């Protein structure tokens, strides 16, 4: 895997909660990057404001604009969510709206840097929490470069209506920028209409549904003990399998022309 982006149309369907649940339950090394221009919430919520001093993408952006030192500064801005293993790392989002002005011009720079983390030693995949798309300075470069974009939606009619409009916006942008077909998937949260019904109505496949699990959602939002056996964590862990399947299939297709060029013509 490389870059997996999560985004929503509007409201609070659970983008950050879903991204954090995946980060804490997937097997591969991950960096969870909070790239919501409206601000990050994990430092103050799940981590309870326990860190001393500023840290995160806002600090990286200020340093990059001043010194151009992203490669050197990146690792010092991360939080180890499962210390000291350094397998589940968090890049906190902006905490001051003023920082958003520094981050927005650097979305492409961050995109290129995140893409290279897969090639590092050790390699890391990046889960990107893009928050709500209808904001000032949305991270479109990250969405266009993502291997998979998960549009998070509630399963009730109001959420689905907002999601339908956002799908059209994303599809137009992806077509203009030649994003490979099949990049966009729906991640449904909570009870409501069925997955097949939602996929048919919106014209986008549903990759999975995360169940309503208020107890775990509260822990991921406000802090506490995460229990791997809870329904939300089990469903988030299972999501890794279809994500990896999509990526394996895509990379096989991309590799085929190069392989075919090296195959002698049949006699």
Does 105 map to a domain? yes
* Residue (of 24, 16, 62, 58) closest to 41 by Cα position: 16
Does 264 map to a domain? no
Share of residues in the chain with pLDDT > 90 (%): 80
- The stretches in the chain having pLDDT less than 70 are 1, 52-53, 256-267
Indicate the length of the chain as a whole number: 267
pLDDT at 258: 53
> Cα 22 vs. chain centroid, distance in angstroms?
9
Q: CA 143 to CA 40: how far, in whole Å?
A: 18
Q: What's the domain range around 75?
A: 3-246
99 and 65 in contact (C-beta within 8 Å)?
no
> Cα 168 vs. chain centroid, distance in angstroms?
20
Does 256 map to a domain? no
The whole model's pTM is what? 0.92
Q: Before 240, cis peptide (omega within 30)?
A: no
Does 252 map to a domain? no
pLDDT at 51: 76
pLDDT at 96: 79
What pLDDT, in 10s, does the model give residues 180-239?
999 999 999 999 999 999 999 999 999 999 999 999 999 999 999 999 999 999 999 999
Does 166 map to a domain? yes
User: Which CATH number does the domain housing residue 31 bear?
Assistant: 3.40.50.300
Express the helix, strand and coil content of the chain in percent, nearest 5 each: 50, 15, 35
Does 126 map to a domain? yes
Number of H helices and E strands in the chain, helices first, is: 10, 8
pLDDT at 54: 81
What pLDDT, in 10s, does the model give residues 229-243?
999 999 999 999 999
Does 45 map to a domain? yes
pLDDT at 47: 94
- What is the token pair recorded at 28? 């591969």
């Amino acid at each position: 895997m490389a870059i997996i982006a999560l985004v929503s149309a509007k409201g609070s369907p659970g983008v950050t909660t879903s991204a954090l649940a995946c980060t804490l339950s997937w097997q591969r090394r991950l960096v969870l990057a909070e790239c919501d221009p409206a601000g990050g919430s994990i430092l103050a919520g799940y981590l309870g404001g326990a860190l001393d001093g500023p840290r995160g993408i806002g600090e990286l952006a200020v340093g990059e604009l001043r010194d151009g030192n992203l490669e050197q500064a990146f690792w010092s801005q991360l939080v180890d969510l499962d210390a000291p293993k350094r397998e589940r790392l968090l890049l906190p989002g902006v905490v001051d709206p003023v920082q958003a002005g520094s981050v927005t011009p650097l979305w492409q720079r961050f995109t290129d840097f995140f893409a290279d983390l897969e090639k590092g030693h050790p390699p890391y995949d990046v889960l990107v929490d893009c928050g709500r798309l209808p904001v000032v300075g949305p991270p479109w470069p990250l969405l266009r470069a993502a291997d998979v974009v998960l549009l998070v939606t509630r399963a009730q009619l109001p959420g689905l209506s907002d999601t339908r409009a956002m799908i059209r916006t994303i599809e137009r942008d992806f077509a203009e920028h030649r994003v490979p077909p099949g990049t966009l998937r729906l991640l449904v949260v909570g009870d409501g209409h069925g997955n097949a019904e939602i996929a048919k109505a919106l014209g986008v496949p549903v990759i999975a549904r995360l169940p309503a699990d208020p107890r775990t959602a509260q822990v991921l939002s406000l802090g506490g003990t995460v229990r791997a056996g809870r329904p939300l964590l089990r469903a988030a862990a299972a999501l890794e399998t279809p994500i990896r399947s999509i990526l394996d299939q895509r990379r096989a297709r991309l590799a085929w022309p190069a392989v075919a060029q090296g195959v002698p013509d049949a006699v």
